[in-house]
């Protein structure tokens, strides 16, 4: 299951509820939205949290549990009831299904049976009457061909623009563990960082992860890099994938600002991304690095996700021409962002995104159009250079006298 389902559970028995909760926390495709110990309060919990799945353990009071199943089915058409019981009595199962249960599972829960039940709910029209809907989330990583090419500025401004759409929920993850400065761009002094998330990864749940994020006035959330520099990453690639899987349950867009070191953590971020924007400028060092990076990423089967973004178009007259750059890198350019040094520096120094600082600037309009493109366009593999064309040498444009 590639999309994450939100789940709320109700079980008056503390021990079995705890065991079920521990099982759910180990499944990346499930977000434990809420837990409840009283049948009579579960309706209020569902109203507040709006989950996709309601897991109802009925053994404490089967009659009240079955009544709750009917209530959930009738009052919450976008939520699929899933019943759990140690009893496999046929009449009990039949009554649960008549009351609207989508699945009836035996207790203790077995992970294979549980995953299979979720797959059936998903494949059966997302759970009958609109229930079990999956919240599709898009993950975009932003990488650079060199330092200072504008990765963080693009990540921050793209997120803030996407957050202007009330249908979107957006989070930025600063994965430049050593020198990230996304918090500076947003003028945020965070209380928690990715370090806190990593230290609590074994008990990570909705409330803890939500507290680790800081919301900007634009509506975008930020998970910043650690405050103190360490000699080792605070989070492993596997742990990071777990965090992203959980974030996808709540956010429609995740923007990951990776470092320029292309560490295993950075590559893990690119691996789980739907798209990777590789930011470059039209100068020799950057274009050389684009070629090197493409070879590096191709060896790791990541190039299909890569889109080349040329930043600061028109920076200076001595820039290499776009056509010559295309011949060199052997790929089409996905997006071009005009140079507007004054607006960008003012935005950064004030800690105010472009959408607020310079809403009419060309650079702002360009990023707005890119955000709209990301919202509308399905991710498709980007073709590389035409194999029938002769391969260009790295510095071929120098020999031809072009710029």
Least-confidence region, from 151-165, 296-310, 370-384: 370-384
Q: Compute the average pLDDT of residues 100-113.
A: 88
d(Cα 26, Cα 13) in Å, to the nearest integer? 21
- Token readout for 94 is 């039949």
Least-confidence region, from 112-126, 133-147, 339-353, 372-386: 372-386
Q: What pLDDT is recorded for position 3?
A: 62
Q: What pLDDT is recorded for position 130?
A: 40
Q: Compute the average pLDDT of residues 8-15.
A: 94
pLDDT at residue 208 tops 90: no
Q: Find the helix or strand (DSSP H, E) in which 280 lies.
A: strand 275-280
d(Cα 265, Cα 179) in Å, to the nearest integer? 15
pTM: 0.68
Judge whether 151 and 200 are in contact, CB under 8 Å.
no
277-289 confidence digits (pLDDT tens): 999 999 999 999 9
Q: Compute the average pLDDT of residues 376-395.
A: 41
Look up the CATH number of domain 5-123: 3.40.50.2300
Out of 3.90.550.10, 3.40.50.200, 3.40.50.300, 3.50.50.60, which CATH number does the structure's domain 138-399 have?
Answer: 3.40.50.300
Judge whether 105 and 117 are in contact, CB under 8 Å.
yes
Q: Compute the average pLDDT of residues 163-181.
A: 93
What distance, in Å, lies between the first and last C-alpha atoms of the chain?
A: 48
d(Cα 177, Cα 175) in Å, to the nearest integer? 5
When comparing pLDDT for 88 and 211, which is higher?
88
Per-domain residue ranges of the chain: 5-123, 138-399
pLDDT at residue 41 tops 90: yes
Question: Taking all residues of the chain, what is their mean pLDDT, rounded to a whole number?
Answer: 85
Q: Compute the average pLDDT of residues 69-88.
A: 94
Please check whether the two domains, 5-123 and 138-399, share a CATH topology.
Answer: yes
How many residues in total does the chain contain?
403
């Amino acid at each position: 299951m590639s999309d994450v389902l939100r789940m709320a559970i109700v079980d008056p028995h503390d021990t079995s509820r705890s065991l079920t909760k521990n099982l759910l926390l180990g499944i990346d495709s499930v977000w434990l939205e809420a837990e409840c110990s009283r049948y009579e309060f579960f309706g209020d919990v569902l109203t507040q949290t709006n989950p996709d799945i309601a897991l109802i353990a009925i053994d404490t009071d089967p009659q009240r549990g079955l009544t709750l199943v009917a209530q959930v089915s009738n009052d919450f058409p976008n939520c699929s009831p899933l019943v759990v019981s140690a009893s496999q009595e046929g009449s009990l199962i039949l009554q649960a299904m008549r009351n609207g249960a989508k699945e009836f599972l035996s207790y203790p829960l077995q992970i294979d049976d549980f995953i299979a039940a979720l797959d059936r709910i998903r494949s059966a029209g997302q759970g009958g009457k609109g229930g079990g809907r999956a919240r599709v989330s898009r993950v975009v990583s932003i990488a650079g061909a060199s330092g200072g090419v504008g990765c963080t500025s693009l990540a921050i401004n793209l997120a803030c623009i996407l957050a202007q759409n009330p249908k979107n929920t957006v989070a930025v993850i600063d994965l430049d563990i050593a020198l990230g400065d996304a918090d500076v761009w947003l003028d945020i002094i965070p209380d928690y960082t990715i370090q806190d998330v990593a230290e609590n990864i074994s008990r990570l749940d909705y409330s803890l992860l939500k507290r680790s994020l800081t919301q900007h006035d634009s509506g975008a959330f930020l998970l910043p890099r650690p405050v103190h520099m360490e000699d080792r990453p605070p989070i492993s690639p596997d742990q990071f994938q777990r965090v992203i899987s959980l974030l996808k349950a709540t956010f429609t867009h995740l923007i990951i600002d990776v470092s320029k070191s292309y560490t295993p953590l950075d590559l893990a971020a690119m691996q789980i991304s739907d798209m990777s924007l590789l930011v470059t400028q039209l100068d020799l060092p950057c274009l050389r690095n684009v070629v090197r990076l493409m070879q590096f990423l191709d060896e790791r089967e990541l190039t299909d996700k890569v889109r080349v973004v040329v930043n600061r178009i028109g920076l200076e007259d001595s820039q290499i021409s776009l056509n010559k750059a295309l011949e060199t890198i052997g790929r089409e350019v996905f997006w071009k962002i005009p140079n507007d040094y004054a607006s960008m520096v003012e935005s950064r120094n004030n800690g105010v995104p472009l959408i607020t600082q310079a809403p009419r600037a060309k650079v702002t309009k360009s990023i707005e159009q890119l955000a709209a493109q990301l919202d509308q366009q399905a991710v498709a593999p980007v073709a590389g250079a035409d194999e029938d064309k002769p391969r260009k040498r790295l510095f071929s444009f120098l020999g031809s006298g072009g710029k």
